[in-house]
Amino acid sequence: MDAFFVSVERILDPSLEGKPVIVGGDPHGRGVVAACSYEARKLGLHSAMPIRTAYRLCPQGIYLHGHGTEYGRYSRAAKKILEKYFPVVQQASVDEFYLDFSGCERIYGDAFSFAQKIQLEIWKQLSLPCSIGIASNKSIAKIASDYKKPKGITLVPDGSEKEFLAPLPIEKIPGVGKKLFPLLRLRGFKTAGDIANASPDYLSVLLGKSGVDLWEKANGYGTDVFASVYERESISKEITFDTDIISKTKIEAFMFELTGDACQLLRDENWQTSTVSIKLRYSDFVTITKARTIKPTDDDKVVFDTATGLFRKAFARRVSIRLIGIHLSKLSRFCEQEVLFEDEEIIRKRMLRAVMKIRGKYGCKAIHIGVN
C-alpha cells in the first residue's frame, strides 16, 4: 500500500489531500515519524526519523497521532479483496502482502493486466492507492513493488531479474540498512550490479552468512515458497511522553488507553493473550520490564489489572517516567464454545465481541470498556 497510514488518514479527513502529512505525534515531542505523505518525502522526511527533525525540515506539515484501529480495519478489508482472487495470500505487515499467482493465468489472463484490475478494485472499494511488483520470487517482487511508487505496477520477466536489479542503488536491496549501507559503500559497492559481480566468497568473509544472502538477492535469486497464514507472535503498544511524568494516576490513565488499543487488536485477530508485560523507562533512561502469565484472555479489565499490578511493583523510584509500554504475547486462538448455561465470563466475552463490532463500524473512540 502507498503511504498507507497517511492514505487512511485522508479517507478519515479528505481536507488532508495534497498536503504534507506526518503520522507520528507531537512535532515538539520525542517520538519518531511512523509514516509521511509523498509531499513530505519530497522535503527529505522519511519513516523512523525523529519527529523534531521532521518538524525542522517541514514546519508547515500536518502532524497527526494516527488511528491504529482504523489502519487494522482497512488492512483487513484489503486482504479480503485479495483473498477473493488468490489461492495463497501471505500478509507480511499491516500494509504489505505477497500473492501467489501460480496456475491462475488461464483464469485471470496475464499477470500485468490482472494487477491493474486488482489495483483499481482496491481503489474503488477502499480509496486506497497501492503499488504492485510482479516477479518470479518474493525478493524481486518486493523490490519491484517499490520501483514506481505511488500507484505503480512493475513486471520483471522471468530470467531478467539480474538485469533489472543491476542499476539500482544498493539500499534498494532488502536487508541493506543503516549499518550495512556505509560498510558496503566504504568497500566501493554502489549498485546491486556491483554486488552481483563480486565474489560470493569475498562477501562471505566481509559479512558472514548475510553476505552470501546479499549476493543471491543481487543476482535475482529469492524464495518462491511462503506460508499462507500470517501468524502474529505478539502485540505491543507504547508511548513516549512529551514531558516526563511522575504521577501514578496520569501514567495509569495512559496505560488504560494502551490496553484498550492492544486488546482491540487481539479481538480483531481473534486472539487471546496469556502473558502480559510492561516496559517502564525512567527519565535517566533506566528501563525496566516485568511480565506475568495469566489465563488466556482478551478482556481489557483483566489485562489492565495485570499491567497496573506490574507497574505498581516496578515503579519503585522517585524518578519521573519517560516511556510506558504494554506487550501481549503467548497468543492463542479464541474459540467460543457452546454452553448450556451462560455464566458471567461468557456474557462478558460476548459483550467484548459486541464492542469489537461497534468499533469496527464507528471507530475505536466510539466506545470504551470500563475497568473499575
Active site residues: 96
Helix, coil or strand: residue 2? coil
Q: Using alpha carbons only, what angle is made at residue 225 by residues 222 and 229, rounded to the nearest 5 degrees?
A: 130
Give the angle 89-265-236 at the CA atoms, nearest 5°.
Answer: 100
Nearest to 326 by CA among 338, 314, 342: 314
Q: Is 156 helix (H, G, I), strand (E, B) or coil?
A: coil
Of 23, 20, 19, the closest CA to residue 34 belongs to 23
Other CB atoms within a 10 A radius of the CB of residue 361 amount to: 9
Distance CA 251, CA 246 (A): 8
Query: What whole-number distance in Å separates Cα of residue 289 and Cα of residue 323?
Result: 12
Cα 40 to Cα 208: distance, rounded to the nearest angstrom: 37
Q: Which three cell numbers stand for residue 104?
A: 491462475
Full DSSP string of 237-273: EEEEEEEEE--HHHHHHHHHHHHHHHHHHHHHTTEEE
